[in-house]
Amino acid sequence: MIQDYLILETKVRKCAAEARINGIPICRVGPSGPLDSRAVHEFLFPGRNRFTLSVEPGPTPSQALSAAAEPFIPGDKTSSSLRLMSMPRGAFPEDPGVHELFRIDWTPPPGQPVETPAVLERVLEMPNAGHRWQWLDGEPFDTAASLQAVTDMLTECRDGMNRGDPEPFIERAQARFRAMLAAYGLDVSDEIAIFREEFRSLAGEAGFQMQGLDPLTMDLRVCADEKLVDCVDRSWEPLLRSAKLPNGVTRLRYPIKVARLGGTVQVVL
């Protein structure tokens, strides 16, 4: 297991924003969840890496980089930031051992209309980061048939999970588990066992069922030079998730990105 983590922190105030690395959507933050902080080793390449902050992205994932019809008018203290930190294992952002590699800040004048999305980028040379990931050599998602294959894979995994069976997903996600080994030194067998145990624990709860896949709300987002598909719906929620409980809680969410490897759609991130 690695000792020093590369943590990407995305923060907003009175707006929404999306963070991407090398064209890969990482997270979306907004008023309901204004802060996201996570390790990002599996998204990095050796050498040149591009970090993007898109403020007030479009209304759906597939429109996140489209120009808005109306300007955004910032309020008082509206802001957004993106920063990458090298952080020892177990440390907190404010600890003295944390090293900030870069920071992007967006602080527009209040009351003055802004064309959105406001896109800010930073390129960083990181020769010792990341790997030459398997999905980079995958086939592009450039046809209707290739996207239908994603829907078919999601249906297979969703139906298995709805029966309490995580094995179809685990089989499709072998590349993802291997990436976690390369990125963080995690044991593949251990990670699969933990995933299986956690899923079965949640699936055994009263009232558990998976959310249905609605073609009208699916918003499969092709990204990373057509090598990946971000499996989300129009409200930015992961397509593989459990149905809401009566109290409004969604107990299980699996945000995934898939690639075409050897003619098969596989979960890679």
Cβ burial 20-42 (10 Å sphere, 16+ → b, else e): bbbebbbbbbeeeebebeeebbb
DSSP state of 238: B
Distance between CA atoms of 178 and 81, rounded to whole angstroms? Answer: 31
Q: Which domains does the chain have, with CATH numbers?
A: 4-130 (no CATH), 135-267 (3.10.450)
Distance between CA atoms of 88 and 101, rounded to whole angstroms? Answer: 14
Distance between CA atoms of 59 and 232, rounded to whole angstroms? Answer: 13
Find out whether 141 and 132 touch, Cβ atoms under 8 Å.
no
Among the listed residues 222, 212, 246, the one whose alpha carbon sits nearest the alpha carbon of residue 63? 222
3-state secondary structure 2-14: CCEEEEEEEEEEC
Cβ neighbours of 233 (radius 10 Å): 19
pLDDT surpassing 80 at residue 21: yes
pLDDT surpassing 90 at residue 129: no
Instruction: Give the chain's radius of gyration (CA, Å).
Output: 19
Find out whether 124 and 47 touch, Cβ atoms under 8 Å.
no
Confidence of residue 58 (pLDDT cuts 50, 70, 90): confident
Confidence of residue 195 (pLDDT cuts 50, 70, 90): very high
Helix 174-184, helix 188-203: angle, nearest 10: 120
Cβ neighbours of 250 (radius 10 Å): 13
What is the rounded average pLDDT of the residues 202-207? Answer: 88
The helix (H) or strand (E) run that includes residue 101 is strand 99-106
Q: What is the pTM of this model?
A: 0.92
- Residue 146 to residues 42, 116, 150, 227, 245: CA-CA distances in angstroms? 24, 31, 7, 11, 33
What is the rounded average pLDDT of the residues 208-223? Answer: 95
Distance between CA atoms of 179 and 156, rounded to whole angstroms? Answer: 22
Confidence of residue 92 (pLDDT cuts 50, 70, 90): confident
Distance between CA atoms of 142 and 223, rounded to whole angstroms? Answer: 11
Confidence of residue 163 (pLDDT cuts 50, 70, 90): very high
Contacts of 145 (CB under 8 A, 6+ apart): none
pLDDT, greater one: 4 or 22: 22
Confidence of residue 95 (pLDDT cuts 50, 70, 90): confident
What is the rounded average pLDDT of the residues 213-218? Answer: 94
Confidence of residue 247 (pLDDT cuts 50, 70, 90): confident
Confidence of residue 1 (pLDDT cuts 50, 70, 90): low
